[in-house]
Structure 1
Amino acid sequence: MAFVDVIKGLLGKAGEELAAQPGFDFQADSHGLNFYLPKAAFVALQEGRGSTLQKVQLITLRMLEEQGLANPLPNGFMVLEADLAGLEAEQADLLRLPPRLPGSFAAQISGRTGNSSFRVALHLKMTDGNAPFTRKGPLLYLTSTEAYRLTPAELMGLLAWEHHQELQPEQRGEAANLRLMAELQTAARSGMRIDLSHFERLDVVVPQNIGVVATRLPDGSLLLCPSLGNGTTPDQLEKRWSQLDMGANDGVLRIDNRVVLLDPQKMAAIKEVLSNKRIPADKVAEFLTTPSAFLDAALVNLDMGFSIRVAGIGKLQHMDFGDQDTQKSDWFALDKRPASAAIILKLVQTPEELARLQEVYASAKEQGATSLTFAGQLIDVSNPEQVDKHIQKVQEAFEGATVAPVVEPDEPDEVKETVSVLLRDADDIHQGLLRKAGEAKPFREPDWDAYARQPFPHQREGVEWMMKLLGAAIQDDHANLYRLQGALLADDMGLGKTYMSLVTVGEYLAQQKAIHKSQKPILVVAPLSLLENWEDEVDHTFKSIPFRDIVVLQAGRDLNRFRVKGAERESVQVASLADEDGQMDGEAIRYALTIGPEAGAQRLDMDRRLVLTTYQTLRDYQFSMCMIDWGMVIFDEAQNIKNPNALQTQAAKGLKADFKLLATGTPVENSLGDFWCLMHTAQPGVLGGWSQFRDNWIKPILHAPEDERDAVRRKVGAELRDAVGIFMLRRVKEDQLKGLPSKTIHSGVAQPTGGLLVHTPQLSRGMKGIQLKAYDAILSDFRELRATEDMRGTALMALSQLREISLHPRLREETQLMTNTAKDAREVMAESGKLTVLLELLDQIRQKHEKVILFMVTKRLQRLLKLWLDQIYSLNVAIINGDTAAVAKKADILTRKQLITAFEAKPDFNLIIMSPVAAGVGLTVVGANHVVHLERHWNPAKEAQASDRVYRIGQTKEVHIHLPAVLHPQYDSFDVHLDRLLRGKLMLKDAVVTPEAVSENEMIQSLGL
């Protein structure tokens, strides 16, 4: 199928118009695809001249470049094969790439895996039979014109197969042959459609390290056995060591249907254990105390132990937090729009109800009514034929009803269980914690001359608070579950939590050095977008950096340096290896990072090292991270560990450290349960276990009458602050930074008297034209569907459509909305009431020569607005979303922070487009003083975080936050309902709770379904 036909089929009439326009050509090579234009055409396109297709392709390719996925060429871009294979379908369509492969592969295997004659031939099976193929980069060619784009799994499998095909006969040993089968199995599990014949039943594994299992014999001696970390027992292994050629560098073990590949390092470790197999009885105590005196710790993984809080490793048990209380809201104007007569099929459940309905209906017909109310539901009866038809269906169902046969339930599907560190829970409130903390004193006077920046008064106070608790924690008994061990820095955004944390780390290391104690490594866990910010803050905070070095433990940076070769993520564990109590044998645990003294110079946990990582990396390598003895652990944007059922939260609680500092400007996002979880991580015992916390602080709010609930919330907030006492420091910006200019939040939706938002009517516009027509069509469709559909899924889909139409009624017709001139761009934007408001607002901001951030989530809208606003204001608008690089990977790729620097450096009016999720934390953009939330986030805490990117230390202009809205002429619109729901979740500043989020469950409850 030709590329033009693909685009036409995907995009219909718009696709036909698009396919007719000139776009980038591309050519496949062995590495990927080169997208190019003639040099003159490429220069013209960069100057704003070119076809609509070329312009949107250029935007798409530049967004890929910002992600580090495209490399610029003199007249185009080069994208690697792996990145193209994983490209989103929407982006692939815009670049006119071929469709996915419709066929599947079959492996024809000949020879034994132990022989060099072993071969694997791959055949491509299409609907009309087998087809020959060739691969160029991410494309599979069947002919010179018929091509398909490979998936990541297909590319993985084909690359492994091609590599094996290129091996010389002497290189095709059993290990290489089995490795090919393992890689093909992995590709199949990842989605490659391939028939591996009898090898489907073979499980090929590569051990991450070799440990040791000790069995005590009757005479008191110990028998040592190498452990492969995959659950194989010593008895199973004892019978199979003879399979290994002890003179060879590598080896292969067959254990039932499992094949274990051993590289030279693993073979050396096995030989080390087997050569020291017996520990005499009189040496057992010495061996248990110092195993490294008997075995080479550089080869064999020896247990280093977890923190006092870790009880073991096993299946994670879910914690039930109960339902949330949510008011009902008529999002679809159902009270004003009668339901279809088809809803009778759902409302009438008994013959008695049918009789009552018939009576009500007969009365309505006599009165000439077009609607009636039954079972609390307004029903459209304007079409008597439809009503009679549905009543007849219900009547026939009752008349034909019989006793249904008893059907045995199907066997439940196998539930994938999660393996994590298991915690010794601090279920009780330890009354002595507050007393011990209150008596603590700072362990030293900060040497402020050692720092490049002098603190504000509130920052000096914050450092002294941290040092007081840190000093007490260092001295407390580390073997006591209820020891002093952490705190929550809940300062408002923009007060310098990063600076205060780094100063405290510097003082901790200096004190450890002064008293001749180990300067343990420091761990910072933060969202990906903040890692670069932490690196920069180190340079700006210290005159002389106290760290040995800085390691960014993240893919694309330093993670591969410290990963055990061939190791998978530790979160990929085998739950079946857990015993009946849910725990795993320590020998079955796989560690994927090079830690401990046996790792030598490659160990991650070097003294004085600053390790920066993300919550996802902590989750994926939690067992290794929990083994390390950290000095201080800092959790930046700690609301990321608010969920006690998340693996990253379990890992955070299990980390071993002298002191844990949780830093967040939003200590609660969803409920008071978030605050409990954060404090339970920072200082277990101060609020007790979940059941105690729920009884003491949650239930009083839930059981309070609606008109008293705000007062009860304030009372509970005050009680919680008293309960945590010194373990939390909470200051708000307005109280601490007296020099900050004013901040005003303007809303296009009318606000209640005394609210925090200012109603600004100019920020709202009524729907009209195609926007009103599209919006009403969704309401009507929902009214019809709710008669027969599962309303939960239907309602959420309809809400998503209403949200989209509120932005622009033709947002899904992206190709038809691409414009060539500023005049055309303004006309297309005028189809939306909200975008009309946006243009008026931007024109006003331009007249003031000020800068603005536009926040929105939808990527399609981000791309279109960049195109339109570039044309209208002659700008090159940057987009920062989840695809934009957070950490520098290549010198020519701009990161989020660099894009912001360029945005602020431009004099006069400028604007930038951001996602509130990707750019909502950590970044400072004080060059702008206007924020527009074009698409509001469901979570008001994230919305506030995003807004406060401009309201921080260094801001000199008055800050304005704009919340535009589009209104319906008859009913409350989507924007009105969302504003009401988010406003209802906001807590007063004197409560410990900051804005709550809106969960999907709460959204469903608010619909009244």
Structure 2
Amino acid sequence: MKNHLRDLFNSLMFGRQDRDSDIESTSLQVQADSSGLIFFESLQTITELKIGKGSPVAQLQMVVLQMLLEQGDAEPLPNGYRVSSRVAAALDDEQADLLHLPSRFTHGFVAHVKGHTRNSGFRVQIFASIDGQEHPVLIKGPYLYIGQSQPYRLTPAELSAFSALEVHGNLPSDEAGEAANLRLMAQLQAARRSGMDLELGAFSNLNVVVPEGIGVVATRMPDGSLELCPSLGDGSTPDQLDKRWSQLDLTRDGGVLRIEERLVLLEPEKIAAVREVLGSRRIPAGKVEEFIKTPSAFIDASLVNLDLGFSVRVLGIGKMQHMDFGPLDDKKRDWFATSTRPQPPEALHKHITCTEDLDAFQERLHAAQQQGAQSVEFEGEQFDISEPANVISVLRSIEAGFEHKPVKQEQGGDDQPETERVTLLLRDADELNRELLTKAQQQGRTPIVDASKLRRSPYPHQAEGISWMLDLLLKALADDHNNMYRLQGALLADDMGLGKTFMTLVMAAEYLAIQAAAGRTQKPILVVAPLSLLENWEDEIGKTFKSSPFRDVKVLQAGRDLSEFQIKDAPRESLQLADLLDESDAMSEADIRYSLQIGREAGIHRLDMDSRVVLTTYQTLRDYQFSLCVIDWGVVIFDEAQNIKNPNTLQTRAAKGLKSDFKLLATGTPVENSLGDFWCLMDTAQPGLLGNWAEFRSKWITPIFKATDEARDQMRIEIGSSLREAVGPFMLRRIKEQQLKGLPSKYIRSGLLQSEAENLQRTPELAVVMKGTQLQAYDSVLDNYRCQRAEEDMRGQALSALQQLRLISLHPRMGDKDLLRVSGAKAARKAIAESAKLSVVLEQLDRIKAKGEKVILFMVTKQLQITLKLWLSQIYDLDIHIINGDTAAVQKKRDVLTRKKMIEQFEAATGFNIIIMSPVAAGVGLTVVGANHVIHVERHWNPAKEAQATDRVYRIGQTKDVYVHLPAALHPQFDSFDVHLNRLLSGKLMIKDAVVTPEPVDEKSMVTSLGL
């Protein structure tokens, strides 16, 4: 399915041999130079393409380039675009084919290393290896040339290797020493680890390490004193290092240590740090307490990375493991296996005794590997899955005894082992702390907010919400911070559109005022939010306060302020290798390589300045988990907190490990898929409130799964209401329709039968019967499937047929040639007329245009997004924006349009306008009250996600009635794909004022409903 767009373009380009020259003439010209690629045409042609005229192929390329521009990955030129080598190398195959770029090089490379790294004559050359023959190569931007052949497009790993080689080759003679030579080899090894097929000779087994910083390890001696040893961050133990310090001349400005199969390069500042630690080798017993309290009094912290300490919940650092989150097993487990090591895969022989066991294990294996876990639980035991090739070999051996079908390999095959993941090990909140509710319910003083400092007065429900947060905040400040079960957080689960951002900002400002009044440190504020909302948070600060109560606001994101706080050349912390782990799969905190400048030792460059607001994303929290978790935050705010609902992700581990006075989780959908989501959120906000996972599952989830199908909905209602009572004042949940008096009405318009819903309008014209080529294509899929099913096992083909029906229901030629070769409004309308559903969409757009109103089109399929942009732009003479996962959320360059800017342009246009959005990428947190129509061209299979997307327009600030249109394609004889999906979605229970929310429709349900 993901290759449909590429197949379409290939069919346009290569469908007939006599079309090659025609395609060349209708595509944009591409030229490579040393810095990247230039896509260009004459100024007149580019101008015509921008307004929807000219070659359809070139228009499609313009859409792709414009999307790259909007995400900050392209630069505009007067007659085209420039794309850097880095971006061109990173494009996926679909984008590259659309842009008519060459394919990847599918063979390997060989490095010829001449001379010793200590010698000035040290040289490295890289050759292409094809069928055992070596060929010289030429690199130009992102292109690889071999002789007179057509170029190949480099991968990111290959580009980094050749770039490092070029930089090394251009070094002046006075800089081309051993340090530069070893750094080059380290970069080539990094490229190899990143996927480049590169033979490095002797350096294939000799690892070159360039430490990002020097830490310190303290060993308690028998007499009570401490012996200090520098930590290089490469996994070397103090005993190993003590035997090798003699290799260094500490009086020189650099050196190299050989430790087993590692070469550790120590540059001047690292040698200085080693000297600093070795110069204070012994801390007397009487000074140990003072050293632990203020190590910077003994060691120069500007040279040595001193341990800052984690929160009370962090047990240590170790290997990522998968948590069994299955709903029916109520067995208590040690999630992270801190007490025992996992068994080897060979032990599975005695645990997998039938094909059902094999299938069950494969499901858990797949889920665990998707999370990057290194072990998985099965039958009450932990099994090591860190070497996928070994696991697959064992499973093949087991299945051979069953005469079962072959085991499916995980994507990537045997040659692509899972990356080792190192993360925080957390203390499990095993205790169900009943005192928490008592503390929260105690009468406290009601904080009074100084509204004169605010630019806008809170609505009554917002004043109530602010008071609720501050009441819990004050109780959290008064509780024992060394107790993991202290009162420390809450969940703001208000319906979408009630102003959670405004309320939370006021609470954060009041926290600083409370701290200042008490003479306490005004600790920094951390806001973690989806990328698309960072700009919104910045803007809300200016809209909320007359004068900002914060020192400043820093956006910890690439393209913004991240580089200001990064330690030079430090990698993302989530990439730290598991070779730093000891035999118990744990890691010394002294070996952690922090990547951000934090703590007093960083001086004015530190990230964690008092009163500062730091805005970041869940991905950045994951990538810099160790640095962010040692900071002592004042308040941590998680916006759209459903992003940390899965306990098996690094970002959730990091969220639970953050150290703060108070945590506030904000989400309009506290449950998206299962009650496990809710437990994970509450375990982050307030550990101990709901006990551990096994206890929660037994009490709240098992009854739902044990209920009969007929009784399950009622059981969900009862469980949801009971669970709402159990969390008490730790969750605040209000409904928009109940809280916002005077909010315009919302009408749901559908041509299909719906379950009872408020403000539902049955609109038959929104459901149209398929005909012509669309009906033929739909019937063909069903006929082929039924014929094959009569002759063979079709269990693996049902999902494929389902996806074909889904695409055909959108348009019969999704993926076929000539789909985009339309020019002009008349041709575009004719192409749309081939689809029953899109014909309905076009009719509604014509009516909305006649009213002079604005509309959001929601759809998931990227090909459809691009196709409708091209067609509708020509029909309505509009420059239609697409907001999806590829669109920049934070502005990086002046010419880049971010999501927020695109929405502002859309809303600023007079009268009718269209914007296309993905319900997943753009359906969270954005406000688009300039539109009052929503058309779900493709319905999301999770009703909570669909509701989130709809509520982009139905929230504070909306002045018009809102209309939600649900078009559908019908079959003349039986229920169509759209009818089945609508029936399943309508059958999902919608309980807005309880914890439980509807489950998503899954593929199995659709397959069953369609009779496949």
Same-fold status (TM-score > 0.5): yes
- Rounded to whole Å, the distance in 1 between the matches of 2:445 and 2:971 is 60
Residue 35 (structure 1) aligned with residue 27 (structure 2): no
Residue 648 (structure 1) aligned with residue 651 (structure 2): yes
- Aligned equivalent of 1:215: 219
- Aligned equivalent of 1:927: 930
CA RMSD of aligned residues (A): 2.8
Shift of the alpha carbon at 1:662? 0.3
After TM superposition, the structure 1 stretch with the greater mean CA deviation from structure 2, 906-915 or 935-944, is: 935-944
| Aligned counterpart for 1:296 among listed residues 285, 295, 300 | 300
- Rounded to whole Å, the distance in 1 between the matches of 2:147 and 2:403 is 57
- 1:746–1:757 contact (8 Å) kept in structure 2: yes
- Rounded to whole Å, the distance in 1 between the matches of 2:11 and 2:931 is 42
- 2:671–2:678 contact (8 Å) kept in structure 1: yes
Residue 745 (structure 1) aligned with residue 748 (structure 2): yes
Equivalent position amino acid for 1:662 in 2: L
- Aligned equivalent of 1:503: 506
- 1:666–1:995 contact (8 Å) kept in structure 2: no
For residues 48-102 of structure 1, give each alpha carbon's deviation from its aligned partner in whole angstroms, at most 9, with x where no partner exists.
Answer: 4322222222222222211212211111111111111112323322322222234
Identify if the C-alpha distance between structure 1 residues 134 and 950 changes in structure 2 by more than 3 Å, giving closer, same or farther: same
After TM superposition, the structure 1 stretch with the greater mean CA deviation from structure 2, 205-214 or 869-878, is: 205-214
Shift of the alpha carbon at 1:866? 0.9
- Aligned equivalent of 1:438: 441
- Rounded to whole Å, the distance in 2 between the matches of 1:854 and 1:214 is 60
- 1:7–1:96 contact (8 Å) kept in structure 2: no
- Aligned equivalent of 2:180: 176
Q: How does 1:314-325 map to 2 (within 5 A)?
A: 314-322=318-326
SS state at 1:831 partner: coil
| Aligned counterpart for 2:525 among listed residues 522, 536, 539 | 522
Equivalent position amino acid for 1:893 in 2: V
- Aligned equivalent of 1:717: 720
- Aligned equivalent of 1:679: 682
- Rounded to whole Å, the distance in 2 between the matches of 1:882 and 1:84 is 18
| Aligned counterpart for 1:538 among listed residues 541, 560, 563 | 541
- 1:633–1:660 contact (8 Å) kept in structure 2: yes
Shift of the alpha carbon at 1:22? 2.7
Q: How does 1:688-727 map to 2 (within 5 A)?
A: 688-727=691-730
Identify if the C-alpha distance between structure 1 residues 321 and 104 changes in structure 2 by more than 3 Å, giving closer, same or farther: closer
Residue 247 (structure 1) aligned with residue 255 (structure 2): no
- 1:18–1:815 contact (8 Å) kept in structure 2: no
Q: How does 1:592-603 map to 2 (within 5 A)?
A: 592-603=595-606
- Aligned equivalent of 1:468: 471
- 2:447–2:467 contact (8 Å) kept in structure 1: no
- Rounded to whole Å, the distance in 2 between the matches of 1:573 and 1:718 is 44
- 1:548–1:607 contact (8 Å) kept in structure 2: yes
Shift of the alpha carbon at 1:111? 0.3
Shift of the alpha carbon at 1:725? 0.8
Shift of the alpha carbon at 1:825? 0.6
- Rounded to whole Å, the distance in 2 between the matches of 1:804 and 1:720 is 40
- Rounded to whole Å, the distance in 1 between the matches of 2:22 and 2:645 is 47
- Rounded to whole Å, the distance in 2 between the matches of 1:263 and 1:977 is 65
- 1:642–1:674 contact (8 Å) kept in structure 2: yes
TM-score by length of 2: 0.87
Shift of the alpha carbon at 1:218? 3.6
- 2:641–2:665 contact (8 Å) kept in structure 1: yes
| Aligned counterpart for 1:120 among listed residues 111, 124, 129 | 124
Shift of the alpha carbon at 1:791? 5.4
- Aligned equivalent of 1:284: 288
- Rounded to whole Å, the distance in 2 between the matches of 1:404 and 1:752 is 47
Equivalent position amino acid for 1:896 in 2: R
| Aligned counterpart for 1:613 among listed residues 610, 616, 622 | 616
- 2:750–2:966 contact (8 Å) kept in structure 1: yes
Q: How does 1:90-239 map to 2 (within 5 A)?
A: 90-126=94-130, 129-142=133-146, 146-239=150-243
Identify if the C-alpha distance between structure 1 residues 790 and 511 changes in structure 2 by more than 3 Å, giving closer, same or farther: farther
Shift of the alpha carbon at 1:991? 2.6
- Aligned equivalent of 2:897: 894
- 2:751–2:764 contact (8 Å) kept in structure 1: yes
- 1:324–1:1002 contact (8 Å) kept in structure 2: no
SS state at 2:614 partner: strand
- 1:814–1:864 contact (8 Å) kept in structure 2: no
Shift of the alpha carbon at 1:1005? 8.0
Equivalent position amino acid for 2:264 in 1: V
Equivalent position amino acid for 1:306 in 2: F
Residue 421 (structure 1) aligned with residue 438 (structure 2): no
Shift of the alpha carbon at 1:486? 0.4
- 2:446–2:467 contact (8 Å) kept in structure 1: no
Residue 967 (structure 1) aligned with residue 958 (structure 2): no
Shift of the alpha carbon at 1:599? 1.6
Shift of the alpha carbon at 1:868? 0.6
Q: How many residues align?
A: 929
SS state at 2:315 partner: strand
Q: Which runs of 5+ in 1 are unaligned?
A: 1-5, 326-348, 350-401
After TM superposition, the structure 1 stretch with the greater mean CA deviation from structure 2, 123-132 or 453-462, is: 123-132
Residue 990 (structure 1) aligned with residue 996 (structure 2): no
Identify if the C-alpha distance between structure 1 residues 255 and 714 changes in structure 2 by more than 3 Å, giving closer, same or farther: same
Equivalent position amino acid for 2:774 in 1: Q
- 1:206–1:566 contact (8 Å) kept in structure 2: no
For residues 123-145 of structure 1, give each alpha carbon's deviation from its aligned partner in whole angstroms, at most 9, with x where no partner exists.
Answer: 22345944443222112234577
TM-score by length of 1: 0.88
Shift of the alpha carbon at 1:453? 1.2
Shift of the alpha carbon at 1:288? 2.7
Which has the greater radius of gyration? 1
Equivalent position amino acid for 1:264 in 2: P
- 2:462–2:503 contact (8 Å) kept in structure 1: yes
SS state at 2:251 partner: coil
- 1:102–1:126 contact (8 Å) kept in structure 2: no
For residues 532-572 of structure 1, give each alpha carbon's deviation from its aligned partner in whole angstroms, at most 9, with x where no partner exists.
Answer: 10010111111111111111111111122222222222222
- 1:444–1:511 contact (8 Å) kept in structure 2: no
After TM superposition, the structure 1 stretch with the greater mean CA deviation from structure 2, 790-799 or 85-94, is: 790-799
User: Percent sequence identity over matched residues?
Assistant: 61
- 2:494–2:500 contact (8 Å) kept in structure 1: yes
- Rounded to whole Å, the distance in 2 between the matches of 1:121 and 1:179 is 15
- Rounded to whole Å, the distance in 2 between the matches of 1:170 and 1:927 is 62
For residues 11-33 of structure 1, give each alpha carbon's deviation from its aligned partner in whole angstroms, at most 9, with x where no partner exists.
Answer: 42396485154332222222112
- 2:980–2:1010 contact (8 Å) kept in structure 1: no
Residue 953 (structure 1) aligned with residue 956 (structure 2): yes
- Rounded to whole Å, the distance in 2 between the matches of 1:469 and 1:721 is 18
For residues 464-519 of structure 1, give each alpha carbon's deviation from its aligned partner in whole angstroms, at most 9, with x where no partner exists.
Answer: 00000000000001111211100000000000000000000111101111111100
- Aligned equivalent of 1:399: none
| Aligned counterpart for 2:822 among listed residues 796, 819, 840 | 819
Shift of the alpha carbon at 1:753? 4.9
- Rounded to whole Å, the distance in 1 between the matches of 2:302 and 2:787 is 69
SS state at 2:934 partner: strand
Equivalent position amino acid for 1:67 in 2: Q
After TM superposition, the structure 1 stretch with the greater mean CA deviation from structure 2, 519-528 or 24-33, is: 24-33
- Rounded to whole Å, the distance in 1 between the matches of 2:14 and 2:937 is 27
Residue 911 (structure 1) aligned with residue 919 (structure 2): no
Equivalent position amino acid for 1:658 in 2: D
Equivalent position amino acid for 2:496 in 1: M
- Aligned equivalent of 1:858: 861
After TM superposition, the structure 1 stretch with the greater mean CA deviation from structure 2, 595-604 or 565-574, is: 565-574
Equivalent position amino acid for 1:97 in 2: L
Identify if the C-alpha distance between structure 1 residues 128 and 155 changes in structure 2 by more than 3 Å, giving closer, same or farther: same
- 2:981–2:1006 contact (8 Å) kept in structure 1: no
- Aligned equivalent of 1:768: 771
- 1:751–1:758 contact (8 Å) kept in structure 2: no
Residue 62 (structure 1) aligned with residue 62 (structure 2): no
Shift of the alpha carbon at 1:658? 0.5
- Rounded to whole Å, the distance in 2 between the matches of 1:949 and 1:186 is 43
For residues 927-969 of structure 1, give each alpha carbon's deviation from its aligned partner in whole angstroms, at most 9, with x where no partner exists.
Answer: 1000011111222212111110100111111101111111222
- 2:749–2:963 contact (8 Å) kept in structure 1: yes
- Rounded to whole Å, the distance in 1 between the matches of 2:784 and 2:404 is 37
Equivalent position amino acid for 2:37 in 1: L
Shift of the alpha carbon at 1:169? 3.2
